């Protein structure tokens, strides 16, 4: 396997499946199957999930809510999603740990770097909830930060499209897909991969990003097996 340890970034919206909001148990089960398959190949898996299917702080702020209050609500939403994914993974027979950047000792461990790494070494799937624990930072930033801290080989950003395009392929039928990009190419072309803070942090730490379609069965396994799936962003 080209990747020994991965950080899988999932959006909260991905958990909705065909629903308009909330969590789709069917989609959750599909993701759990994909993750189980790569864990059984010996790949160490850490996961960061967004909370947009439940609440997004920035959206709340646009309606007049205090941004800090809204972001804290969004962080709690990521913990809810983390608990849901944890239950789905354990239902498949995997060992898991949920760590939160916000202390919720009754439902999750506090994030401790060395403990997280030890869990991964023991074959447990580690889910990071609560974002970075700070307002004004997205779960993209949390994903890059945690990936650097646990010394992951790559960030795999699972989306509903199969890579990075010249424009939104769901709106522009003439959009063309990139197989590989450098960090500088992304900046020059003004492409949206992650928010600027997360992307810059990834670039500075030479941490590659793979954007791929998580909803296509087998894609996660193909990536960790070395196949050219999605779009790779590297130096």
27 appears as a binding residue in the annotation: no
Report the CATH architecture of 5-234: 3-Layer(aba) Sandwich (3.40)
Residue 206 structure tokens: 């030479």
In the chain, domain spans:
5-234
Give the count of beta carbons closer than 10 Å to the beta carbon of residue 113.
Answer: 12
Helices 67-91, 25-39: crossing angle, 10 deg rounding = 60
For the whole model, what pTM was predicted?
0.94
Residue 169 has pLDDT above 80, yes or no: yes
Residue-wise burial string across 167-188, b where 16 or more C-beta atoms lie within 10 A, e elsewhere: eebeeeeeeeebeebebeebee
Give the count of beta carbons closer than 10 Å to the beta carbon of residue 67.
Answer: 14
- Report the pLDDT value the prediction gives residue 218, as an integer from 0 to 100: 96
Q: How many residues does the chain have?
A: 235
66 appears as a binding residue in the annotation: no
pLDDT band at 62 (very low <50, low <70, confident <90, very high): confident
**Mean pLDDT taken over the chain:** 94
172 appears as a binding residue in the annotation: no
Residue 60 has pLDDT above 80, yes or no: no
11 appears as a binding residue in the annotation: yes
Percent of the chain with pLDDT over 70: 100
Residues 142/132, Cβ–Cβ less than 8 Å: yes
Percent of the chain with pLDDT over 90: 80
162 appears as a binding residue in the annotation: no
166 appears as a binding residue in the annotation: no
195 appears as a binding residue in the annotation: no
CA dist 52 and 49 (Å) reads: 9
Residue 59 has pLDDT above 80, yes or no: no
pLDDT band at 61 (very low <50, low <70, confident <90, very high): confident
74 appears as a binding residue in the annotation: no
- Report the pLDDT value the prediction gives residue 20, as an integer from 0 to 100: 83
Residue 48 has pLDDT above 90, yes or no: yes
Residue 172 has pLDDT above 90, yes or no: no
Separation of CA 57 from chain center:
18
Separation of CA 143 from chain center:
6
- Report the pLDDT value the prediction gives residue 220, as an integer from 0 to 100: 97
Higher-confidence residue of 55 and 210: namely: 210
158 appears as a binding residue in the annotation: no
Contact residues for 101 (Cβ-Cβ < 8 A; gap 6+):
75, 111, 128, 129, 130, 131, 132, 133, 134, 142
- Report the pLDDT value the prediction gives residue 193, as an integer from 0 to 100: 87
Separation of CA 211 from chain center:
10
Task: Tell me the pLDDT tens digit for each residue of 90-139.
Answer: 999 999 999 999 999 999 999 999 999 999 999 999 999 999 999 999 99
pLDDT band at 171 (very low <50, low <70, confident <90, very high): confident
Beta strands at 164-165 and 177-178: parallel, antiparallel or unpaired: antiparallel
- Report the pLDDT value the prediction gives residue 168, as an integer from 0 to 100: 84
Task: Tell me the pLDDT tens digit for each residue of 185-207.
Answer: 999 998 988 999 999 999 999 99
CA dist 20 and 22 (Å) reads: 7
CA dist 16 and 148 (Å) reads: 28
């Amino acid at each position: 396997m080209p990747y020994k340890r991965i950080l899988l970034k999932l959006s909260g919206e991905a958990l909705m499946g065909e629903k308009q909001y909330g969590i789709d148990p069917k989609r959750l089960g599909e993701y759990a199957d994909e993750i189980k398959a790569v864990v059984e190949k010996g790949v160490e898996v850490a996961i960061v999930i967004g909370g947009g299917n439940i609440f997004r702080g920035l959206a709340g702020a646009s309606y007049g809510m205090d941004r800090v209050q809204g972001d804290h609500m969004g962080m709690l939403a990521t913990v809810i999603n983390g608990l849901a994914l944890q239950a789905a993974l354990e239902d498949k027979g995997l060992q898991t740990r949920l760590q939160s950047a916000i202390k919720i000792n009754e439902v999750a461990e506090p994030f401790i770097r060395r403990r997280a790494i030890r869990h991964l070494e023991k074959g447990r799937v580690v889910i990071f909830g609560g974002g970075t624990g700070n307002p004004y930072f997205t779960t993209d930033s949390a994903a890059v930060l945690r990936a650097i801290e646990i010394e992951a080989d790559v960030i795999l950003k699972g989306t509903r499209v199969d890579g990075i395009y010249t424009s939104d392929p769901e709106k522009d039928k003439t959009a063309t897909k990139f197989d590989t990009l450098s960090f500088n190419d992304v900046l020059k072309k003004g492409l949206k991969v992650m928010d600027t803070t997360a992307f810059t942090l990834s670039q500075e730490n030479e941490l590659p990003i793979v954007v791929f379609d998580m909803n296509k069965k087998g894609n996660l396994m193909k990536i960790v097996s070395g196949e050219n799936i999605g779009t790779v962003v590297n130096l």
